[in-house]
Structure 1
Amino acid sequence: MRTRTPHRPPVLGLRENAAQFTLLVAVNALVGGMVGQQQTVLPLLAEDEFGLTGYTFIFTYVAAFGITKAIANYFAGTFSDRYGRKPVLLAGWLFAVPVPLMLILAPNWGWVVAANVLLGINQGLTWSTTVVMKIDLVGPAKRGLAMGLNEAAGYGAVAVSSLLAGYLAEQHGLRPAPFLLGLAYTAIALVLSGVFVRETRDHARLEAAAHTQRSDGLHDHLHADLTNRQIAVETSFTEPALASASHAGLVNNLNFGLSWGLFPLLFATADLAPAQIGLLFALYPGVWGAGQLVTGALSDRIGRKHLITAGMAVQAAALALIAASTGFTGWAVGAVLLGAGTSMVYPTLLAVVGDVAHPQWRGRAVGIYRVWRDSGYAVGAILGGIVADVLGLHAAVWAAATVSAAAALLVALRMYETHPRPTPSDSRHRSLPDRDDHLPTSHGA
């Protein structure tokens, strides 16, 4: 009779879960690659092959992507708490399968918009789930580092794929070559997610068993049994750190959504080649991605609030420089600064949500935060399109700079420092209690 191998109880920690964490980093790089394959190409495709000239109309694909991604984020959080993380991750990749084919075969702009609806669902389900899974695995001590690695992989892949797509478009035309990247990414991701990724909900359960409230009483009302409505209200409006993070996240992605639809058109006014436009566009997510390798870990050392405030202010200055420039050099410097400011903000906002949200409803809180954040794609695309149509491309960038400066001020005034201070007695190496044991959800300070 064969002896059953005992189930290995989960432990928290980056080193203890290095193999699964690395695998999830790779999966998230593929998620980012799905966006990068089209960012350089689609605005050029809109003008060259479909004859679209109105900026607002061209930006419809960004708005469609942002709206569906925001909605998918909510369901990703809710379903990952209810059914587990891995099924949601797999479902997200299934939505990606038709996207490259639709972009290759699109006979009209409606197909492009429909493909971006599916891409938004893919991005919302997969990226949200990989975020939650990494937070589950590492525990509180290295949360900023974990988010920095996650977002660096995703946006580094956006940059690399933007460069590759620009090169392929210049060498082989706008279709189909750039979108063959997406077919390869999807196939690889389905194998990795289906065969090798493991469920992480037990890690969240372990952290919940040892959860403690802040000694200052700020989180006393954030107990384990909040309803979905209460979680949404706290994350969106009531809880100062969660709400500030949600609103700053919206502005951050407003800038990204505006840049996605507008920057290639702005850069094209200087008669730059597609490869040069691809390079300019890649600088922003490239610096953003690489910078997060530093800023995520830095937030574990110095805290979250001041890094977020400074990052939004740097973004405002970068956008002002891009708006005031008319050639490659100014735009390149502005793109680098914009990437640096975004790298200071992006993983740190996710770490804030992980700091404040109870492990029992962390997936839902991350999902709601990402609803706010990814609504910024649509807001940026629509705002950018309207202002560009009425006042011009440079005016649209000035508008984004003003909004970013206001977001920096809001965080400075409202957010408190959320970073937990680990103690020697932290529960990093505790193993999961038996399922029959009583699992307290919080302890007094």
Structure 2
Amino acid sequence: MQINTSVPLALGLRQNWQQFILLVIVNACVGGMVGLERTLVPLVGTQEFGIGSDLVVFSFIIAFGVVKAFTNLISGVLADRYTRKNVLILGWVIGIPVPFLLAWGPSWNWIILANCLLGISQGLAWSMTVNMKIDLVGPSKRGFAMGLNEAAGYGAVGLTALLTGYLAVQYGLRPQPFYLGFIFTSAGLMLSIIAIKDTKGFAKLEADQWSPLKLIEPQRQPTLSWVFEQTSWKNKNLFAVSQAGLINNLNDGMSWGVFPLLFTAAGVNLEGIGWIKAVYPVVWGVGQLVTGPLADRLGRKPLIVWGMFLQAVAHLFIGLEVFPALWTGLIGSALLGMGTAMVYPALLAAVSDAAPPLWRASALGVYRFWRDMGYAIGALMAGLVAAWLGMVWAIHVAGLLTLLSGIIAWIGLQETYKMVKK
């Protein structure tokens, strides 16, 4: 296999800042594709297609989460065995039909198909931007790198969610708000083909130059089944990280489906829904500009544990409905975003600490499999609980699970950063 040697093989952000910035821009485009759906798709289901079942409405999130989770698993193997760049390009190519289907799909089944394609596209493209940034910066700046990566992605999610809400007020739910997807796919694909260079050589360089404490054996490229077992349950640290990632995205999957319907029923207009749906990922995204570097200073564990606890507080605040609906949604979403910002880069950095460079992408793929299964589990849980007890109780159940997850991380997770810090 040929490695692109035109990229100077020196680890570090300063040495590779041009490629790093380009990858940040690409991931903003990736995030924008998810943001297309945050405000409007649940409302398309209820208002345009007349779907009365919460579980059926949330089915698009379930489809997205399951497909993205399994694609993450495959993308890690592909990245370890082939080139990151080719996998990134493939992700964009698969995502090309998505805005067309969202804008003009004649039935709910077409929306589900769009989300299956979006899940594959995200699983390939977002995974590669994560792996490529980790490859470039080396072990000492992983938290910072992941903070920038996720800030770009989820900042774009939030801003796109807000913009689609405004466009829907002006033009209706479809098709105009989804035209933004054409811009994201075109820009992301062209940058990936023309400007992005492969980074697998950097992972090989790190493996040759730097050897962490042997947290996990073997120091070679093992089978996917071996990596899956280690990351999922055999290694105590990686189990703690994987379960926290799953519950974190359970919250996101729940809020994705529940918030537009809950706050619409409470009398919040479409513009207000757009703001509520934007605040969460924007705070989540921008907050990682702070929490990513903090993970490199304070360590991974404090941010993971207290971030989960803060998310549990956010659920309690929203569920109690103390303030008028709009303010409850805005403040609760901001708290949820702060907690998620604390957790997200620290979790990715912790996995990268624990897995040797030669099979780190596969370990990240397994972690992201469990994390993104949280979308499907959260949407399924929310649909079942909402049908039985009401939507507010879906929020309460998510809050309880988040609290328990934080306790598991508190008890079971050892600090990983001290194991790789020079």
Paired residue type of 2:65: G
Q: Aligned ranges for residues 222-237 of structure 1 at < 5 Å?
A: 222-237=218-233
Counterpart residue number, 2:120: 121
The reply on whether 1:244 has 2:243 as its aligned counterpart is no
Q: In the alignment, what sits opposite 2:39?
A: 40
| Residues 322-331 or 409-418, more deviating | 322-331
Contact 2:7 2:197 in 1 (8 A): no
Q: In the TM superposition, what are the counterparts of 1:278-317 in structure 2 within 5 Å?
A: 278-317=274-313
Select the residue among 401, 415, 419 that pairs with 1:417: 415
Does the residue aligned with 1:25 lie in a helix, a strand or coil?
Answer: helix
Q: Could you say which residue in structure 1 is the equivalent of 2:89?
A: 90
Asked whether the equivalents of residues 321 and 331 of structure 1 are also in contact (C-alpha less than 8 Å), the reply is no
Counterpart in the other structure of 1:378: 376
Q: Matches of residues 305-384 of structure 1 in structure 2 within 5 Å?
A: 305-325=301-321, 327-384=325-382
2:178 equivalent in structure 1? 179
The alignment partner of 1:223 has SS state of coil
Deviations 1:283-317 (A, max 9, x none): 11111001100001001001001110000000001
1:220 and 1:82 map into 2 onto residues whose CA distance is: 20
SS at match of 2:212: coil
| 1:365-401 superposed Cα distances (whole Å, 9 cap, x missing partner) | 1100000000000000000000001100101000000
State the AA in 2 paired with 1:115: A
The aligned residue for residue 189 of structure 2 is 190
Aligned match of 1:400 in 384, 390, 398?
A: 398
- Corresponding residue SS for 2:417: coil
Distance change (3 Å), C-alpha of 1:96 and 1:53: same
Q: CA RMSD in A?
A: 1.3
Cα separation, 2, equivalents of 1:373 and 1:160: 23
Q: TM-score, normalised by structure 2?
A: 0.96
Cα deviation for residue 421 of structure 1 reads: 6.3
- Shift in Å at residue 244 of structure 1? 0.9
Q: How far did 1:344 drift?
A: 0.3
Shift of 1:76: 0.8
Corresponding residue for residue 106 of structure 1:
105
Alpha-carbon distance in 2 for matches of 1:346, 1:119: 21
Q: Write the letter of the residue equivalent to 2:288.
A: Q
C-alpha separation in 2, matches of 1:80 and 1:421? 25
Residues 355, 420 of structure 1: 8 Å contact kept: no
Q: 1:116 to 1:416 in 2, by over 3 A?
A: same
Q: CA deviation at 1:60?
A: 0.3
Match of 2:193, as an amino acid?
G
Provide the residue aligned with 1:438 in structure 2: none
Q: Secondary structure at the match of 1:141?
A: helix
**What are the superposed Cα offsets for residues 129-161 of structure 1, whole Å, 9 maximum, x if unpaired?**
110000000000101000000000000000000
Contact 1:140 1:420 in 2 (8 A): no
Q: Are 1:66 and 1:120, in contact at CA under 8 Å, matched by a contact in 2? A: yes
Matched residue type, 1:291 = G
Partner Cα separation in structure 2 for residue 220 and residue 237 of structure 1: 13
Query: Whole-Å Cα distance in 2 between the matches of residues 27 and 63 of structure 1?
Result: 25
C-alpha contact (below 8 Å) 2:310/2:339 kept by paired residues: yes
Q: Give the aligned residue type for 2:161.
A: S
Task: State the distance in 2 between where 1:275 and 1:421 align.
Answer: 47
Hey, what's the Cα distance between the residues in 1 that align with 2:269 and 2:94?
Answer: 33
Amino acid at match of 1:73: N
- Confirm or deny that 1:18 pairs with 2:17: yes
Report how far residue 411 of structure 1 moved. 0.2
2:143 paired residue number: 144
Shift of 1:46: 0.9
Cα separation, 2, equivalents of 1:422 and 1:392: 47
SS at structure 2 position matched to 1:253 = helix
Q: Distance in 2 between matches of 1:401 and 1:389?
A: 18
CA contact (8 A) 1:213 1:220 kept: no
Does structure 2 retain, via aligned residues, the 8 Å contact 1:255–1:400? Answer: yes
Which AA in structure 2 matches 1:273?
N
- Structure exhibiting the larger radius of gyration computed from Cα positions: 1
2:273 is aligned with 1:274: no
Residues 247 and 401 in structure 2, CA contact (< 8 A), matched pair in contact too: yes
Greater CA drift, 228-237 or 374-383? 228-237
- 1:432 matched residue in structure 2: none
- Aligned-pair CA distance for 1:106: 1.2
Asked if the contact 2:303/2:342 (under 8 Å) is kept, the reply is: yes
Task: Give the match for residue 262 of structure 1.
Answer: 258
Partners of 2:419 and 2:378 lie apart in 1 by 36
Q: CA deviation at 1:74?
A: 0.9
1:53: which partner in 2? 52
TM-score between both structures, scaled by the size of structure 1: 0.92
Shift of 1:225: 3.9
For the residue of structure 2 that corresponds to 1:149, the secondary structure is: helix
How has the CA–CA distance of structure 1 residues 320 and 220 changed in structure 2, closer, same or farther, with 3 Å as cutoff? Answer: closer
SS in structure 2 of the partner of residue 132 of structure 1: helix
